[in-house]
């Protein structure tokens, strides 16, 4: 008896090694061309194009043509969430049991998870927000408290835009490295956007690692309540 959506279709799309490498590269949130993704996957361009067509037809990717190139991105944050969870599951069941997540210490500390911050620093933020009752979990979902909304406004976030968006403002996302949750949703995106727009943090070209300036680290400590 069929008790839900057929996950085997999605599993088949993600399960191919070349397609998995392409999807992993797109977790950085940047649009990439077929040629760039072919190089990342280690396959010829025609093979990459065939893989990308399958991922697009399957709803995991979207693409837009600009000039001579077609650029591919993940179709949504939910795809990134599933990939992050699959990475965590693969590490737990197939990887070394002692040390989880990426070997690169920069990726373990802070990295892009589609449109929000992940890694140990992001997990610490999430824990701090909960301890200070800036966000709280109810039976229905995680929500932003009144004191939390005021706090993030004071930090410089456009909370009207965060609250008006169709996506949830606060949502936990299982962190691949820490095996604990970091903050996703509109608020998670707004926090990362703030750090990047103020150049308090920069992202590696073509990678997922995030580096913080001295001022960025000070602003991060303000967010955690440790200053």
pLDDT tens-digit series, residues 103-132: 678 888 999 988 999 999 999 999 999 999
Using DSSP, state whether 206 is helix, strand or coil. coil
CATH number of 7-75: 1.10.10.10
pLDDT tens-digit series, residues 66-79: 888 889 999 988 88
Instruction: Output the average pLDDT for the chain.
Output: 87
User: Rounded to two decimals, what is the model's pTM?
Assistant: 0.70
pLDDT at 57 over 90: yes
> Is residue 44 very low, low, confident or very high in pLDDT (cuts 50, 70, 90)?
very high
pLDDT tens-digit series, residues 131-161: 999 999 876 678 899 999 999 999 999 999 9
Is 198 in contact with 169 (CB distance < 8 Å)? no
Residue whose structure tokens are 């440790």: 226
pLDDT tens-digit series, residues 184-193: 999 999 999 9
Tokens of 205: 């070209």
> Is residue 37 very low, low, confident or very high in pLDDT (cuts 50, 70, 90)?
very high
> Is residue 101 very low, low, confident or very high in pLDDT (cuts 50, 70, 90)?
low
Kindly tell me the burial class for residue 155, based on how many C-beta atoms sit within 10 Å of its own C-beta (0-12, 13-18, 19 or more).
middle
Is 100 in contact with 15 (CB distance < 8 Å)? no
> Is residue 98 very low, low, confident or very high in pLDDT (cuts 50, 70, 90)?
very low
Query: What pLDDT, on a 0 to 100 scale, did the predictor assign at position 191?
Result: 97
Kindly report, as residue ranges, where domains of CATH 1.10.10.10 are found in the chain. 7-75
Half-sphere exposure at residue 176, Cβ-oriented, CA atoms within 13 angstroms: 26
Report the first-to-last Cα separation within the chain, whole angstroms.
56
What is the mean pLDDT of the segment spanning 189-213? Answer: 91
pLDDT tens-digit series, residues 7-21: 888 888 988 999 999
């Amino acid at each position: 008896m069929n008790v839900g959506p057929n996950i085997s279709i999605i599993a088949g799309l993600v399960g191919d090694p070349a397609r998995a490498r392409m999807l992993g590269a797109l977790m950085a949130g940047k649009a990439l061309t077929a040629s760039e993704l072919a190089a990342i996957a280690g396959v010829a361009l025609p093979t990459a194009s065939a893989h990308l067509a399958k991922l697009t037809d399957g709803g995991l990717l979207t693409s837009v043509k600009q000039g001579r190139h077609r650029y591919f991105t993940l179709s949504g944050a939910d795809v990134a969430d599933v990939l992050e969870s699959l990475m965590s599951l693969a590490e737990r069941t197939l990887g070394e049991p002692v040390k989880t997540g990426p070997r690169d210490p920069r990726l373990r500390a802070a990295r892009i998870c589609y449109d929000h911050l992940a890694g140990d620093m992001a997990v610490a933020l999430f824990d701090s927000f909960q301890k200070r009752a800036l966000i709280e979990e109810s039976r229905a979902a995680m929500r932003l408290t009144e004191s939390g909304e005021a706090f993030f406004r004071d930090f410089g976030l456009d909370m009207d835009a965060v609250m008006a968006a169709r996506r949830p403002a606060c949502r936990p996302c299982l962190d691949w490295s820490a095996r604990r949750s970091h903050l996703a949703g509109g608020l998670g995106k707004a926090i990362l956007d703030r750090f990047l727009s103020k150049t308090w943090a920069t992202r590696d070209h073509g990678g997922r690692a995030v580096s913080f300036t001295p001022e960025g680290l000070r602003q991060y400590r303000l967010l955690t309540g440790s200053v």
